[in-house]
Every structure is written in structure tokens, then in C-alpha cells.
């Protein structure tokens, strides 16, 4: 519901608050509507993008409800690129003056919240684009776990709002709330910059849902209603609306994040079902970290076949890793070994990891309903955020995407041996885990979409990273280790212990908060 608040930014001087209620209806389905209901909104198959008005001032962004396919994390840095990409892909809509909006809250927040990209995030996003077959045709994605259809359905959970947004277009719901002076039973939406007050009368909401369902029955062929609404932009002119600048979303994204969870759960559920079948067929674990090298090969071959990718002749030679080591490989490494299919394999592996992590997360949630779902020591994986409930300490929540597997070195012999990735077992129940600090840091680094504001790679190939937020990283570390008194002073002391162990070092040109993994600890 928060999302709709961000759709339009009004000129405050010209738009009284009462007008904002004109847009309230578009928020109503979110709280109660079921996924199936949204199928009626999955209009993209036949939706003609050319229908969108070309008027430069028209808020076409309001119709971008399948925009979850946008790789939004890049948008923080380069909105133009995203727009280009989106337009090129056909995933977003044409329109000369479109401004990007963040993904609707139905998208897995873990894929979006940071200003940085990551393999996982990128793959998840590009996955939705249909990157797997080398194009951006999201409708032909060969991903067996989350095929285009399912993604489309799930990511269309946010219904298009135009019919309701358009004050000039009568509809059962708009008429129900057409009296802008009365906000009863409606979600009141005010300009984003305001301290937004939202209130919902559930009874009215239910009534509206019924009306909406009735409306869906009457959906005109060829999306006639949508066409009419899209073509009718008078409401915007009337209320002096303009598309909301991207920057305005950034601050509010955190609040939106939690709303993604339902969809990621659905998507992951779908992925898990697919994985189940493959696991049964290949007799492998759902946890890639548990695979032997032979099972890795089986999985790789299976995945290549599923994606109709050319079989690799020397798979065994190219991939000698076991599952845990495989999980550590970067997309670049995959691509280097298998230029044609590496990216897909890597992406699919990320999905498997995420799926398994989510599964573990759900198990943890069931076993540990307290708010300490951020990290449980029984697993080294982390759900992509199981608990989105607001919390005073939310900003300190440790949210780690499925991490790179944690290499464990029995005896640090950095000059001669390569760390042998090992399943992240060895953790214990109860307090902190046995994870090593350097492993933890790599883990944080592996999910920049989540932790990118706290720690990020400076030069990944060289293992150089920077702690951007020392306090936060220390807090996360303390939380992981169940050491509430942890601070950066202590954490950095531990890092410095790594100097003589050959695990980490300062960079040649020493910079504050910048460290470097020594070679064996960073591939």
C-alpha cells in the first residue's frame, strides 16, 4: 500500500489533499486480494505498448506495474540505463518522459534494496527479464524454476492502477470514493513528501474487493478498459500531476521492502518445487553446498539440458569443484569457463541457493519465531529476510542473501594452498556461530544488494573491500556472534590479527577502512 503513495508527486501548492484521495482506489487490492485474482491483471501478453500516451507530461509510470522486472539497484546509480534497458526489453513501457519507479512491493525486496548490484540480485532481476536465453524476452525465459509465466503472474500481483487512478473514468470503485472530501473507507494517499497518513476501513475495503472482482468478470476483451484509461490523461492534467522523480523513492524504499516477501515466497516455492523434482531425478541435495563434484556435474548437465544450452564436453575438467566450491564461483568465472551458458548456470545456481536458503529460513522461522531471524547459527545460509516486521532496530537487521559458501581452512597456509570450501557446518545452536570473521565479511560482501551500504568490494578481483559503515558491520558481526558489545574497535582488532596469519592485509596504499583478502582467501 505504501507503494501507491509514491506513484505521483503532486505540486503541493496546486493539489489539495482532498485530491489525493482520487488515487486511493488503486491501493485497495493489495492487502487482501489473492494471487489468482491478479491473473486478471496479467494483461501484458496482449497489451499493446503503443497504447501508452506519448504526451511528455503524462505519468505513464503509473502503469508500470510489471516494472518489477527492472533491475532497480542500478537505477540508483544510473536511472537512464535502466530506462534504456527496460524500454529495449519491452518490459517497461515506451514513453518519452517516463521516470522510473522502484519495483512494486510485490517484488522480493532482497533483490533491490541496495545501490549496488550483486550476482544474486542481478540474476534474480535479469532472470525476470529472461536473460537466460540471451534476450530480454521475459515471456520466453527458459528458467525451469521460475518460468516466465509464473514470474509474470507473481510479479503482476500489483494490479495496474490506471482504471482506479483515473478520476475521470467512472468505475464502481472510483465512484465509491469519488467524493474526495470523504476519505472514509478509502486509502488516503498524500504527496510523498508529506508525513503520509494512511487509513483503511476494512469493511469498505472488502466491499471494494467484491466490486473489483465483479469488475474483473466484466473485463473487456483486448483490455479495452485499460486502453481507455491509458489514453485518458485528463485526470493528470486536471490535478497537475507529474511523474515522481526516482530520487523520491529512494528514501521510501526501505518501507516498501517488506512487502516483497509474499511474492518472493511464491517464487521460491515455485523454484523449490522444481528443485525437488530435479533433486529426486539426480539424487542430489537441494543444498548445492552438499553436492559432490560428481553431483555438480550432474546438476550442470541437467541444467544445461533444461535450458537447452549446448552440452559442455569437458564439464568434468572445467568444473572440478564440489558444490560448496561451485557456489563460490563468480558469474565471471562461470562465463569464462562456459561462455555460452555460464551466466545461466550461475544464475540458476543462485536461485537454487536462494531457494534452499529460503527453505532453511522458513524452518528457522518455525523453530525460532522470535525476532532473531536475521541469522541463526544452525545454518550458514540466511533467508532472504524472513521477518519484515517493523522493528526499532530494523536498520541493524542483518539481512544476508545466500552467501558464498564459507571456505574453511584448517591450517592457514596461504602461500601454498587454496582454501578448501567446505559446507558451512560446524555452527551450533544457541549463541553465536563458529563462523570466522573473514568468512562473515565475505558473506556480507557477497550480498551487496543488502549490505552494500555497510561493506562493499573496491576491487573484487583483488579482494579489496571497504567497510563503509564500521558501526553497522560491527553490529552485524556482534549479532552473528552473539556479542552485543561488539564494536568496530574490537572487530578491527580481529582483522589485524589476520595480518600475521596471512588472511587479510591492508592495501598497498593504506586507506582507512579498506582491507584486502590475501590470495588464498579470496579467489
Partner DNA sequence: AATTAGGATATCC
Partner DNA sequence: GGATATCCTAATT
**DSSP reduced 3-state for 179:** coil
Question: How far, in whole angstroms, is CA 169 from its chain's centroid?
Answer: 34
Q: Based on CB atoms, which residue is closest to DNA, 147 or 468?
A: 468
Residue 230 C-alpha cell reads as: 491509458
* Among residues 481, 516, 517, 522, the one that binds DNA under rule CB under 7 A: 481
Q: Which of 80, 134, 170, 430 binds DNA (CB under 7 A)?
A: 430
Taking the CA atoms of the chain, what radius of gyration do you get in angstroms? Answer: 24
Between helices 342-367 and 293-306, what is the axis angle to 10°?
Answer: 110
Tell me the sheet residues that pair with 461: none
Contact 356, 380 (CB under 8 A): no
Least CB distance from residue 288 to DNA, whole Å? 24
Pick 338 or 476: Cβ nearer DNA: 476
User: By the 8 A CB rule, do 6 and 192 touch?
Assistant: yes
**Binding of DNA by 477 (CB under 7 A):** yes
Calculate ∠ Cα 451-109-194, nearest 5°.
Answer: 100
The stretch near DNA (CB under 7 A) out of 48-56, 89-97, 258-266, 488-496 is: 488-496
CB-based contacts of 516: which residues, under 8 Å, 6+ apart?
462, 463, 464, 465, 504, 505, 506, 507, 522
Roughly what angle, to the nearest 10 degrees, separates helices 342-367 and 119-129?
Answer: 110
Give the list of residues 6+ apart from residue 511 with CB closer than 8 angstroms, or none: 466
Closer Cβ to DNA, 248 or 492, answer by number: 492
Q: Which is nearer to DNA, 157 or 379 (CB)?
A: 379
* Shortest distance, position 473 Cβ to DNA, whole Å: 10
Site for DNA in 73-92 (CB under 7 A): none
- Of the two residues 19 and 455, which places its CB atom closer to DNA in the complex? 455
Contact region for DNA (CB under 7 A) — 264-272, 358-366, 386-394, 426-434? Answer: 426-434
What distances in angstroms separate CA 369 from CA 246, 363, 374, one per listed residue? 36, 10, 11
Q: Are strands 514-517 and 504-506 parallel, antiparallel or unpaired?
A: antiparallel
Report yes or no: 29 and 68 within 8 Å, Cβ to Cβ. no
Question: What is the smallest separation between the CB atom of 502 and DNA, expressed in angstroms?
Answer: 11
Which CB sits closer to DNA, 462 or 483? Answer: 483
- Least distance in angstroms from the C-beta of 289 to DNA: 20
Residues 358-417 that bind DNA (CB under 7 A): 412
- Build a one-symbol-per-residue string for 431-470: x at contacts with DNA by CB under 7 A, - elsewhere: xx---xxx-------------------------------x
Cβ proximity to DNA, 325 vs 441, nearer residue:
441
Give the per-residue SS3 of 244-272. Answer: CCCHHHHCCHHHHHHHHHHHHHHHHHHHH
Q: Find the shortest distance in angstroms from Cβ 440 to DNA.
A: 8
**Using alpha carbons only, what angle is made at residue 258 by residues 252 and 79, rounded to the nearest 5 degrees?**
45
Contacting residues for 385 by C-beta, under 8 A, at least 6 apart: 109, 110, 257, 258, 261, 397, 399, 450
Is 429 among the residues that bind DNA (CB under 7 A)? no
Can you tell me which of 170, 210, 428, 459 binds DNA, judged by CB under 7 A?
428
CB 414, min distance to DNA, A: 12
Q: Is 508 in the site for DNA (CB under 7 A)?
A: no
**Binding DNA by CB under 7 A: which of 207, 316, 514, 523?**
514
CA dihedral over 213, 217, 221, 224, signed as positive or negative: negative
- 3-state DSSP call for residue 25? helix
- Compare residues 229 and 467 and give the one whose CB is closer to DNA: 467
The only residue of 490, 502, 519, 523 in contact with DNA, by rule CB under 7 A: 490
Q: Does 483 bind DNA (CB under 7 A)?
A: yes
Tell me how far, at minimum, the Cβ of 474 lies from DNA, in Å.
9
Shortest separation between residue 228's beta carbon and DNA, angstroms = 56
The stretch among 88-96, 223-231, 273-281, 496-504 that binds DNA (CB under 7 A) is 496-504
Residues that bind DNA (CB under 7 A): 412, 428, 430-432, 436-438, 470-471, 477-478, 481, 483, 485-486, 488-494, 496-497, 499, 501, 506, 510-514
Amino acid at each position: 500500500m505504501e507503494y501507491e503513495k509514491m506513484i505521483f508527486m503532486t505540486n503541493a501548492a496546486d493539489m489539495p489533499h482532498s485530491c489525493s484521495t482520487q488515487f486511493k482506489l488503486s491501493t485497495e487490492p493489495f492487502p487482501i486480494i489473492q494471487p489468482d485474482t491478479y491473473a486478471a491483471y496479467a494483461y501484458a501478453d496482449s497489451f499493446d505498448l503503443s497504447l501508452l500516451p506519448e504526451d511528455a507530461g503524462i505519468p505513464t509510470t503509473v502503469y508500470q506495474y510489471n516494472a518489477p522486472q527492472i533491475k532497480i539497484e542500478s537505477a540508483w546509480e544510473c536511472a537512464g540505463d535502466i530506462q534504456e534497458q527496460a524500454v529495449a526489453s519491452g518490459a517497461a513501457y515506451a514513453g518519452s518522459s517516463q521516470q522510473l519507479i522502484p519495483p512494486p512491493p510485490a517484488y522480493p525486496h532482497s533483490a533491490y534494496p541496495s545501490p549496488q548490484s550483486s550476482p544474486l540480485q542481478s540474476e534474480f532481476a535479469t532472470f525476470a527479464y529472461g536473460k537466460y536465453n540471451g534476450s530480454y524476452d521475459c515471456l520466453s525465459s527458459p528458467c525451469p524454476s521460475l518460468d516466465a509465466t509464473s514470474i509474470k503472474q507473481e510479479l503482476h500481483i500489483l494490479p495496474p492502477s490506471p482504471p482506479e487512478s483515473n478520476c475521470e473514468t467512472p468505475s464502481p470503485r472510483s465512484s465509491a470514493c469519488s467524493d474526495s472530501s470523504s476519505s472514509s473507507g478509502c486509502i488516503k494517499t498524500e504527496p510523498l513528501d508529506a508525513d503520509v497518513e494512511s487509513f483503511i476501513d476494512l469493511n469498505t475495503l472488502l466491499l471494494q474487493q467484491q466490486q473489483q472482482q465483479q469488475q474483473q468478470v466484466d473485463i473487456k476483451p483486448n483490455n479495452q478498459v485499460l486502453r481507455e484509461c491509458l489514453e485518458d490523461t485528463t485526470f493528470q492534467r486536471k490535478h497537475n500531476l507529474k511523474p515522481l522523480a526516482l530520487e523520491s523513492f529512494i528514501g521510501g524504499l526501505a518501507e516498501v521492502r517488506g512487502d516483497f516477501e509474499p511474492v518472493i515466497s511464491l517464487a521460491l516455492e515455485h523454484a523449490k518445487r522444481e528443485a525437488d523434482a530435479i533433486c529426486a531425478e539426480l539424487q542430489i541435495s537441494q543444498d548445492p553446498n552438499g553436492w559432490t563434484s560428481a553431483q555438480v556435474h550432474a546438476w550442470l548437465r541437467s541444467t544445461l539440458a533444461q535450458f537447452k544450452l549446448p552440452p559442455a564436453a569437458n564439464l568434468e575438467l572445467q568444473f572440478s569443484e564440489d558444490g560448496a566450491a561451485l557456489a563460490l564461483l563468480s558469474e565471471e568465472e562461470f562465463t569464462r569457463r562456459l561462455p555460452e551458458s555460464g551466466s545461466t548456470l550461475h544464475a540458476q545456481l543462485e536461485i537454487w541457493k536462494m531457494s534452499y536458503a529460503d527453505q532453511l529460513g522458513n524452518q528457522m522461522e518455525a523453530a525460532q519465531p522470535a525476532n532473531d531471524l536475521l541469522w541463526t547459527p544452525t545454518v550458514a545460509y540466511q533467508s532472504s529476510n524472513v521477518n519484515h516486521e517493523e522493528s526499532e532496530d530494523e536498520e541493524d537487521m542483518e539481512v544476508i542473501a545466500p552467501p558464498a559458501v564459507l571456505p574453511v581452512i584448517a591450517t592457514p597456509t596461504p602461500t601454498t594452498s587454496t582454501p578448501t570450501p567446505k559446507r558451512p557446518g560446524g555452527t551450533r545452536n544457541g549463541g553465536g556461530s563458529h563462523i570466522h570473521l573473514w568468512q562473515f565479511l565475505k558473506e556480507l560482501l557477497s550480498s551487496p544488494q543488502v549490505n552494500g551500504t555497510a561493506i562493499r568490494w573496491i576491487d573484487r578481483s583483488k579482494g579489496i573491500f571497504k567497510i563503509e559503515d564500521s558501526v553497522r558491520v560491527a553490529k552485524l558481526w556482534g549479532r552473528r556472534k552473539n556479542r552485543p558489545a561488539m564494536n568496530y574497535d574490537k572487530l578491527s582488532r580481529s582483522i589485524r590479527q589476520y595480518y600475521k596469519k596471512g588472511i587479510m592485509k591492508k592495501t598497498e596504499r593504506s586507506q582507512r577502512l579498506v582491507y584486502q583478502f590475501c590470495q588464498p582467501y579470496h579467489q
